[in-house]
Structure 1
Amino acid sequence: MYMFGIDFSQFTTTYPLIASALKILFLFIAFAIAAPIGRKVIATTLKKAGKRESISPARTKTLEKLIQNVYTYILLFVFIAMLFGIFGLDLAPLIAGAGVIGLAIGFGAQGLVSDIVTGFFILLEKQIEVDEYVSTAGYSGIVEEVGLRTTKIRSFDGTLNFIPNRQLEGISNHSRGTMRALVDIGISYDENIDHAMNILQKICDEFQQDVRFVEGPDVLGVQSFGSSDVVLRLLGRTENMEQFAAERDIRKRIKEEFDKAAIEIPFPHQVNITKESSK
């Protein structure tokens, strides 16, 4: 018997236990070497193919994670098959038995089949890809991996969520196309609305030179009347995932300019009345 170029036939007869232990050791070493090398080859090949075929980096990364998962499963199956061979076990009866057991538990594994089928169509239809910001199944965050059975979404607080693919319903993909940067700001009812809007428009003109914006921003006008303020709205369109930082910067500039112009931004007040008992 030859394994990894070594003749084990004579050695196996003389020292069967030692020979089996060496075979298992060589098998573990081969698995430990083949697994990272294979994943590296897959990543390198897909990156080259992505550049050659003009495939988006997100799509390339998604396929890379998926193919690496499939490769790991196949490698694990080969490892188990070779391990059975070392112990002299015939795989045919085991496979047949597994088929019967698989049929018996098949009804209980419908969720697993549903996960795989749903994951396949998600990849086929390119609904989500790695590094995209999505909302689905009650979670919002960045997609880290789209697998055969589960999808990993990391929330903005750092939590990594493992979601079965069958639960990925009503997916909202926030990373396709330009995004909306919207800012509502309230001013006192006593303030001059036209004066406040002129200041806001000057701020918008400043941000129109910002490379993050592809359109606007501009002042839309009075959005609503609150209990203690008149709400004015600004709206623009930014590059993907730049809207949050842009909104924060706009709010900062509004506060600075309103302070200079002595324009009040109302906030809740609490009045305490104390009654003194008469003597």
Structure 2
Amino acid sequence: MFRSAVLATDATPRPVSLDEAQRTANDAAGWVEQNWSVWLTNGLRIVLIIVIAVAMRSLIRRGITKLIARMNRTAQAVDGTALGSLLVNAERRRQRSEAIGSVLRSVASFLIMGTAALTVLSVLKINLAPLLASAGVAGVAIGFGARNLVTDFLSGVFMILEDQYGVGDEVDAGVAKGTVIEVGLRVTKLRGADGEIWYVRNGEVKRIGNLSQGWATAGVDVQVRSDEDLDRVRAVIERTGEEMQKAEPWTERLWEPVEVLGLNAVYLDSVVVRVSAKTVPGKALSVERELRWRIKRALDAEGIPVVGQPHEQELRTAAAADPAATVAAPSALASPTSPQSLATAPIPPAPPGVTLGKP
């Protein structure tokens, strides 16, 4: 018990003397006096780094925004003119420029602020090697975990930069086909022929067919009888194409004269003449419909019938011309004495007083 009391007495804190307290205060004041200039210098450097980074980020983002706005104003200035009709539509240019501007602003902010953060850590004498190693490992892990998202994003960036397709284009993406209504960095929206909206991830598009770039081909097949004068048919079609090319609005949609390519198929009673025309992208279907309309009217005016379903009068005429067509096929039932007719004759009733089944 006495030993425990002694230990308890030794464990109690002893009062600090005035000399020790003064010595401690002097050491702290000296340490502060020796390092205050370093703290002030580092603080000013950190503040200067942050101010420079924020100002540079603001200037660069503002410059990118002004550049995108100028591009949109230039596109709107030529929209509706003869030059604008040869270019892509304004909405496509606007969305493409906005997407590129967003990517550039994000990349600029990441580089500037990331560099500023690393510089501040180096000013604070923090060893960046473990931090960079940990960031590298974390980046690899996130990359493996979100590889589909990264693939979609990178595919969208390159798709926009290369201008593979844009708003208003008719595209065939393999997984879906339709008109592009919105282009994003991760997902592209397509409107199908029946009005449905397809959400296609950019990373899933392995090949893309743009039906709205360059030019399109309008093809029409004209089927006439095999005994028609083909040179006359060609002349009528070429004349119809020339008249159509001079009429509005087809004079702007037809880029080359209507061309008769020749016979596309030959049958026993008819031949198929192939007609082709190079048109503005996206207008091939309307050109084909108008061309069929005009060719049909021109052939009717020249007395050249288009082969199709025969009329009832033609069928009656063909039957009258061939008397054998109304004669029925021979049948064994036509003779009443033939075995087939006798087999189908009704069984006569039994005479009175005779019971069937009894002798």
1:94: which partner in 2?
Answer: none
1:224: which partner in 2?
Answer: 265
Deviation per residue, 1:68-90 (Å, 9 max, x gap): 7999xxxxxxxxxxxxxxxxxxx
The 1:121–1:265 alpha-carbon spacing in structure 2 relative to 1, beyond 3 Å, is same
Structure 2 CA distance for aligned equivalents of residues 110 and 141 of structure 1: 27
2:239: which partner in 1?
Answer: 202
Q: 1:263 aligns with which of 281, 286, 304?
A: 304
2:228: which partner in 1?
Answer: 191
Question: C-alpha displacement at 1:160, in angstroms?
Answer: 0.9
Paired residue secondary structure (1:252): helix
Q: 2:196 is aligned with what amino acid?
A: T
TM-score w.r.t. length of structure 2:
0.50
1:75: which partner in 2?
Answer: none
1:62: which partner in 2?
Answer: 96
TM-score w.r.t. length of structure 1:
0.63
Paired residue secondary structure (1:166): helix
Residue 239 (1) aligns with residue 280 (2): yes
Contact between 1:134 and 1:141, CA under 8 Å: does it hold in 2? yes
2:59: which partner in 1?
Answer: none
The 1:46–1:276 alpha-carbon spacing in structure 2 relative to 1, beyond 3 Å, is farther
Structure 1 CA distance for aligned equivalents of residues 230 and 162 of structure 2: 48
1:213: which partner in 2?
Answer: 254
Question: C-alpha displacement at 1:262, in angstroms?
Answer: 3.0
Q: How many matched pairs? A: 211
Structure 2 CA distance for aligned equivalents of residues 219 and 230 of structure 1: 14
Contact between 2:175 and 2:205, CA under 8 Å: does it hold in 1? no
Q: 1:51 is aligned with what amino acid?
A: R
The 1:118–1:67 alpha-carbon spacing in structure 2 relative to 1, beyond 3 Å, is same
Q: 1:125 is aligned with what amino acid?
A: E
Deviation per residue, 1:87-108 (Å, 9 max, x gap): xxxxxxxxxxxx9999767534
The 1:202–1:171 alpha-carbon spacing in structure 2 relative to 1, beyond 3 Å, is same
1:121: which partner in 2?
Answer: 158
Structure 2 CA distance for aligned equivalents of residues 46 and 276 of structure 1: 87
The 1:44–1:124 alpha-carbon spacing in structure 2 relative to 1, beyond 3 Å, is closer
Moved more, 137-146 or 268-277: 268-277
Q: Give percent identity, aligned residues only.
A: 31
Contact between 1:65 and 1:145, CA under 8 Å: does it hold in 2? no
Question: C-alpha displacement at 1:135, in angstroms?
Answer: 1.2
Paired residue secondary structure (1:156): coil
Structure 1 CA distance for aligned equivalents of residues 254 and 308 of structure 2: 30
1:142: which partner in 2?
Answer: 179
Question: C-alpha displacement at 1:247, in angstroms?
Answer: 1.0
- Matching of residues 143-162 of structure 1 within 5 Å: 143-162=180-199
Paired residue secondary structure (1:191): coil
Contact between 2:169 and 2:210, CA under 8 Å: does it hold in 1? yes
The 1:66–1:162 alpha-carbon spacing in structure 2 relative to 1, beyond 3 Å, is farther
The 1:171–1:265 alpha-carbon spacing in structure 2 relative to 1, beyond 3 Å, is same
Q: 1:129 is aligned with what amino acid?
A: G
Q: 1:63 is aligned with what amino acid?
A: S
The 1:208–1:266 alpha-carbon spacing in structure 2 relative to 1, beyond 3 Å, is same
Paired residue secondary structure (1:204): helix
2:291: which partner in 1?
Answer: 250
Structure 1 CA distance for aligned equivalents of residues 300 and 238 of structure 2: 16
Contact between 2:180 and 2:189, CA under 8 Å: does it hold in 1? yes
Bigger Rg, which one: 2
Paired residue secondary structure (1:184): strand
Question: C-alpha displacement at 1:140, in angstroms?
Answer: 2.3
Structure 2 CA distance for aligned equivalents of residues 276 and 69 of structure 1: 85
Question: C-alpha displacement at 1:208, in angstroms?
Answer: 2.2
> Counting helix residues as a fraction of each chain, which structure ranks higher?
2
- Gapped regions of structure 1 (runs ≥ 5): 1-41, 72-98
Question: C-alpha displacement at 1:141, in angstroms?
Answer: 1.7
Deviation per residue, 1:223-274 (Å, 9 max, x gap): 3324643111222222222221111001011112222333232236799998
2:71: which partner in 1?
Answer: 49
Contact between 1:137 and 1:167, CA under 8 Å: does it hold in 2? no
Contact between 1:191 and 1:264, CA under 8 Å: does it hold in 2? no
Q: 1:61 is aligned with what amino acid?
A: Q
Q: 1:143 is aligned with what amino acid?
A: V
Structure 1 CA distance for aligned equivalents of residues 195 and 226 of structure 2: 41
Paired residue secondary structure (1:237): strand
Contact between 1:65 and 1:147, CA under 8 Å: does it hold in 2? yes
Structure 1 CA distance for aligned equivalents of residues 257 and 65 of structure 2: 40
Higher relative contact order (CA 8 A, sep 6+): 1
